[in-house]
């Protein structure tokens, strides 16, 4: 038995760095300069510790400067995906019996490594994902939190589970792993979510085939290197970058894939769910799908609130990381009695935001790519037709994928930009007649991920608690910024399977319960 249990038992969230302090700002700038010297390398596929090259590669670029290549990656093939699953399945035969304290120790070691390499990890994310310093550091801190939290959770799950005693029998309930898991993370939280899904699967005793996002594969490469540095046995984590159609679909459909952990768009999540539901020849289980999908998140601004505070929170939630969060506020539903005041304050605050390169720590950086930007611009055209442009609405200057923070007012509840996920710096403002109508509007989409209500009326807060069908509902604070362990994260309806990442139920999704009963005399 290792000394794992000597580790502090109480989980604490990793503190965020303050970049208003010159020492932190300077360290981050220096790390960016050092990382820049490593850019342009080509990385192989890794299966069971062995590296593979293929005929085709793809590149990851800096969205702040589209001429700068972050790295190139060999594209996975159907044959290599099949090899990865078969190999991971073989490794599972031994990994599933590895004592849980040893499995948890790999997570704790990885956490310590990330803490040491924090500015470096941030720098890669700033350059590859277009996150400013605070957004990148929050992502890295969340990754640390996932490793620390899930390691402790695995130890808790491995403890004695309560069952009702029965005379003449010895009964025991244990949680055992599932098998090979496909982990398909998003580009918007390219380190935290990737690590959260992968580490939860591995610490539960499963093996993983990781297909990183093609927009941010370097963050997957970094995690793979960190787990190697932590001493993780080869074959537990396999790294197979590539396209969703070739690598992703093959991985999801493989008969020996036991579960799929996915975070991304509603459309892709539905496709994965449909593909996973089809039982393939030789498959002896129903695959489990753990899906975190989209959101169309509202902040309800009631007549009885601090309008200044509410406007500040809406701007932070709508335009943090350019609105590229499934939790981002994309609709502000405002009581008619304060509508004019709110809109005036909102305009001033949004127009104070500065757009520019993430490496220079602008408050608003680029969106992830050209396709994403073009799609957002199309929604802006709908916004012009459906409502009134308050501010923004155009591309912003620079050699990257920049857009102005954009607000449309006088949007109707069923308008296109009020119903569809835009995933960019676009906010729709909707006028409501009263609080009850605001709640109905907030509930009128197919999603149910995050939301917030600003009001000083306790009776209204209680009504919102009962009526809003939202997985993560916040009162008198913004609807982004969930913390591991504090705000278990996941939503309803087309927002996914309500997986509650960072919560005490999460590891249940990567395990199955086994009951053993022995007759005793």
pLDDT, tens only, 416-452: 999 999 999 999 999 999 999 999 999 999 999 999 9
pLDDT digits (tens, 9 = 90+) for 280-334: 999 999 999 999 999 999 999 999 999 999 999 999 999 999 999 999 999 999 9
pLDDT at 303: 98
Residue 5's pLDDT band, with cuts at 50, 70 and 90, is very low
Mean pLDDT of 203-227: 98
Residues 278 and 326 in one domain: no
Share of the chain above pLDDT 70, in %: 98
Backbone angles phi, psi at 410, to 5 degrees: 60, 35
Q: For residue 193, give the nearest of 424, 484, 480, 449 by alpha carbon.
A: 484
User: What is the count of structural domains for the chain?
Assistant: 2
pLDDT at 1: 34
Residues 223 and 171 in one domain: yes
Cβ atoms of 381 and 425 closer than 8 Å: no
488 falls within a domain: no
pLDDT at 521: 86
Residues 246 and 317 in one domain: no
Residues 212 and 178 in one domain: yes
Round to whole Å and give the CA distance between 358 and 170. Answer: 60
Q: What is the CATH number of the domain that holds 220?
A: 3.40.605.10
Q: What three-state secondary structure class fits 260? A: strand
pLDDT at 2: 41
Strands (E), 346-480: 388-391, 406-409, 426-432, 447-448, 450-454, 472-475
- Is residue 162 predicted with pLDDT exceeding 60? yes
Q: What is the CATH number of the domain that holds 428?
A: 3.40.309.10
SS (H, E, C) 51-96: EECCCCEEEEEECCEEEEEEEEEECCCHHHHHHHHHHHHHHHHHHC
What helix, strand, coil percent values describe the chain, rounded to 5? 40, 20, 35
29 falls within a domain: yes
Residues 304 and 283 in one domain: no
DSSP states of 413-427: TTSHHHHS---SSEE
Round to whole Å and give the CA distance between 228 and 57. Answer: 23
Backbone angles phi, psi at 403, to 5 degrees: -135, 150
Q: What three-state secondary structure class fits 400? A: coil
Residues 244 and 366 in one domain: no
- Is residue 196 predicted with pLDDT exceeding 50? yes
DSSP states of 137-175: HHHHHHHHHHHHHHHHHHHHHTSPPP----TTEEEEEEE
- Cβ neighbourhood burial of 83 (10 Å; 0-12, 13-18, 19+): buried
To the nearest whole number, what is the mean pLDDT of the chain? 97
pLDDT digits (tens, 9 = 90+) for 373-417: 999 999 999 999 999 999 999 999 999 999 999 999 999 999 999
Residues 143 and 108 in one domain: yes
pLDDT at 88: 98
172 falls within a domain: yes
Residues 461 and 511 in one domain: no
Residues 237 and 350 in one domain: no
Backbone angles phi, psi at 480, to 5 degrees: -110, 170
Mean pLDDT of 253-279: 98
Q: Which residues are catalytic?
A: 292, 326
504 falls within a domain: yes
DSSP states of 263-322: ES-HHHHHHHHHHHHSPPTT--SPPEEEEE----EEEEE-SSS-HHHHHHHHHHHHHGGG
pLDDT digits (tens, 9 = 90+) for 18-45: 999 999 999 999 999 999 999 999 999 9
Round to whole Å and give the CA distance between 483 and 36. Answer: 30
Residues 171 and 311 in one domain: no
pLDDT at 3: 44
Two tokens, residue 430: 């909707």
- Cβ neighbourhood burial of 200 (10 Å; 0-12, 13-18, 19+): buried
Q: For residue 102, give the nearest of 214, 209, 230, 15 by alpha carbon.
A: 230
pLDDT at 208: 98
Two tokens, residue 347: 């305009």
β-strand 447-448 against 492-493: which pairing, if any? antiparallel
Residues 314 and 242 in one domain: no
6 falls within a domain: no
Note the Cα 442 to chain centre separation in Å. 23
Residue 195's pLDDT band, with cuts at 50, 70 and 90, is very high
pLDDT at 9: 75
Q: Is the pTM of this model over 0.85?
A: yes
Query: Structural domain of residue 475, as residue ranges?
Result: 297-483
174 falls within a domain: yes
Mean pLDDT of 122-148: 98
311 falls within a domain: yes
Q: What is the DSSP letter of 386?
A: H
Q: For residue 14, give the nearest of 183, 133, 190, 192 by alpha carbon.
A: 192
pLDDT digits (tens, 9 = 90+) for 463-483: 999 999 999 999 999 999 999
CA distances from 257 to 208, 210, 235 (A): 9, 12, 15
Residues 127 and 256 in one domain: yes
Mean pLDDT of 71-88: 98
Residue 7's pLDDT band, with cuts at 50, 70 and 90, is low
């Amino acid at each position: 038995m290792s000394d794992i249990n000597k580790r502090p038992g109480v989980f604490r969230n990793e503190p965020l760095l303050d970049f208003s302090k010159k020492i932190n700002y300077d360290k981050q700038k220096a790390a960016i300069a050092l990382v820049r010297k490593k850019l342009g390398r080509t990385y192989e596929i890794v299966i069971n510790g062995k590296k593979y090259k293929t005929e085709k590669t793809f590149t990851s670029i800096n969205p702040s400067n589209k001429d700068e290549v972050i790295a190139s990656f060999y594209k996975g093939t159907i044959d290599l995906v099949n090899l990865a699953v078969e190999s991971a399945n073989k490794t599972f035969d031994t990994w599933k019996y590895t004592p849980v304290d040893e499995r948890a120790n790999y997570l704790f070691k990885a956490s310590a490594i990330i803490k040491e390499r924090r500015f470096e990890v941030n720098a890669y994310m700033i350059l590859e994902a277009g996150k400013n310093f605070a957004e990148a550091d929050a992502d890295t801190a969340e990754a640390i939190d996932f490793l620390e939290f899930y390691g402790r959770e695995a130890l808790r799950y491995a403890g004695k589970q309560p069952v009702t005693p029965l005379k003449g029998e010895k009964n025991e309930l244990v949680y055992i792993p599932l098998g090979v898991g496909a982990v398909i993370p998003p580009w918007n939280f390219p380190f935290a979510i990737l690590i959260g899904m992968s580490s939860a699967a591995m610490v539960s005793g499963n093996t993983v085939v990781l297909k990183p996002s093609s927009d941010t594969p370097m963050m997957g490469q970094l995690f793979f290197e960190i787990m190697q540095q932590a001493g993780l046995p080869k074959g537990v984590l396999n790294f197979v970058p590539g396209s969703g159609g070739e690598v992703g679909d093959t991985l999801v459909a493989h008969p020996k894939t036991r579960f799929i952990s996915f975070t991304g768009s509603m459309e892709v999540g539905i496709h994965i769910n449909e593909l996973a539901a089809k039982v393939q020849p030789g498959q002896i289980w129903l695959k489990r799908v753990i899906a975190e999908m989209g959101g169309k998140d509202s902040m309800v601004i009631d007549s009885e609130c601090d309008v200044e505070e509410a406007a500040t929170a809406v701007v932070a939630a709508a335009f943090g990381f350019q609105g590229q969060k499934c939790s981002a506020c994309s609709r502000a539903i405002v009581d008619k009695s304060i509508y004019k005041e709110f809109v005036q304050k909102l305009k001033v605050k949004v127009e104070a935001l500065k757009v520019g390169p993430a490496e220079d720590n602008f408050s608003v950086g680029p969106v992830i790519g050209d396709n994403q930007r073009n799609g957002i611009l199309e929604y802006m055209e709908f916004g012009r037709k459906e409502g009134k442009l308050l501010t923004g609405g155009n591309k912003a200057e620079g050699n990257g994928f920049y857009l102005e923070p954009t607000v449309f007012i006088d949007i109707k509840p069923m308008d296109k930009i009020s119903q569809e996920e835009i995933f960019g710096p676009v906010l729709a403002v909707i006028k409501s007649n009263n609080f009850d109508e605001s709640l109905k509007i907030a509930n009128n989409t197919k999603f149910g991920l995050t939301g917030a209500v600003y009001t000083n009326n306790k009776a209204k807060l209680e009504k919102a608690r009962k009526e809003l069908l939202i997985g993560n509902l916040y009162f008198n604070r913004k609807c982004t910024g969930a913390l591991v362990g504090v705000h278990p994260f996941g939503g309803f309806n087309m927002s996914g399977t309500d997986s509650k990442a960072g919560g005490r139920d999460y590891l249940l999704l990567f395990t199955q319960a086994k009951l053993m009963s022995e007759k005793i005399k």
